[in-house]
Structure 1
């Protein structure tokens, strides 16, 4: 019960923060429940459902209390709750994720959110987290987090979480966009489709071309 209270307080704080500092434009109506359309131009956000047809289902997502399977190559699973899962989040500038980590070694790999700042709350376990500042400093800022701790990852910066405890870990994060996006660095650089020209990566990373070829042939797991 205490853990759930922590999550509730954290989420309310994230909501309040997002209303002031959201990276998405402020809405000009009560809500804009997203609908899928095949015609028209998508500039920012999605088309809106007729408000008269909106129901409670458009603002609801169940089961975020259920542990997720972490038996995968990176040892973590991210469960997003954004505009895809809750159409009513469209234009509201906020979303939520649950992250489950396997015992020691469970990793949410280095990644960025191009459209959102992230506020992470640790509910269970011990996480080593960090982010890297932009050029030219590229300074690594890290912290070991325990249950009840909160950490902020600024918008667009590469960041990660790593379970350094012997038990499972669980964290929840609020993001300042209804569609924050995610770019996992290894997947994007070495697992793009079609592949980046190996000559580009050989020179960029100062690696032997055989190493680049090896990395591009690996299976890059998507934990989202």
Structure 2
């Protein structure tokens, strides 16, 4: 009877695992050495410089006053991170700029604000797509779980700055606006997915192709309500963005 019972237990285990909330499960593999040498590297030539990266902050664009800029230190830029399951990014948000909804398929993200304020948010797949937002100040820390749609918005009057640590040497970034409207997905698919018409889809594609213009007029930084929801002028765009996030999230998961 014990032998007959074992297949039933295995079947139940498979069913339970399958019914767990859907989430990203990708991650860096464990390595069998302390660190990974780039192909062709001479171990005898490894010194402190190999473990040092100096371009995280200097890699930011010089003119960051009116745009969102990010500088990364992943395995692609910093080979010493290979196999270490960590990476970093420096982020600068000009007044009124946004880091659009995106996901990191291979890593959670721990963001610390070094110059605020900064509004952040994520889409909670375990709560039916609820959007959780927070108005962060200098020194605040926020975690974005692996694979979850999230964004950041500077709704203040001055530049905001943050650093993000990732639980992968190659976290990956999939921007939802770009993935949906700049990758050649057929218009008919987008029309049906967003319950809209061809003209609207084409307008969205055109807007994304346009060169970035001046940053939107920021709302007063001392208004807690404005920080929480982005200000009344941004409400129509925020509602449309969240609709896109909800529909996009159903596609990516």
- Mapped pair 1:189 → 2:180: yes
Normalised by the length of structure 2, the TM-score is 0.67
Preserved CA contact (<8 Å) 2:65 2:159: no
Q: Of residues 93, 99, 111 in structure 2, which corresponds to 1:108?
A: 99
1:61 to partner: Cα distance: 1.5
Measured at CA, do residues 58 and 107 of structure 1 come closer, stay the same or move farther in structure 2, by a change above 3 Å?
same
Q: Distance in 2 between matches of 1:59 and 1:34?
A: 12
Q: Of residues 46, 51, 55 in structure 2, which corresponds to 1:54?
A: 46
CA displacement, residues 64-109 of structure 1 (integer Å, 9 cap, x when unaligned): 344643366xx20110001111101001000000000102x12111
Normalised by the length of structure 1, the TM-score is 0.75
CA displacement, residues 181-213 of structure 1 (integer Å, 9 cap, x when unaligned): 000000110011xx1111111101111111112
* Structure 1 equivalent of residue 138 of structure 2: 147
- Give unmatched runs, 5+ long, in structure 2: 1-25, 213-253
Q: Distance in 1 between matches of 2:102 and 2:84?
A: 24
Q: Of residues 27, 34, 58 in structure 1, which corresponds to 2:31?
A: 27
1:25 to partner: Cα distance: 2.0
Q: Distance in 2 between matches of 1:57 and 1:87?
A: 11
Q: Which moved more, 1:175-184 or 1:134-143?
A: 134-143
1:133 to partner: Cα distance: 1.4
- Give unmatched runs, 5+ long, in structure 1: 1-21, 36-47
1:63 to partner: Cα distance: 4.0
Q: Which structure features the higher share of strand residues? A: 1
* Structure 2 equivalent of residue 98 of structure 1: 90
Q: Which structure features the higher share of helix residues? A: 2
Preserved CA contact (<8 Å) 1:109 1:184: yes
Q: Distance in 2 between matches of 1:117 and 1:220?
A: 31
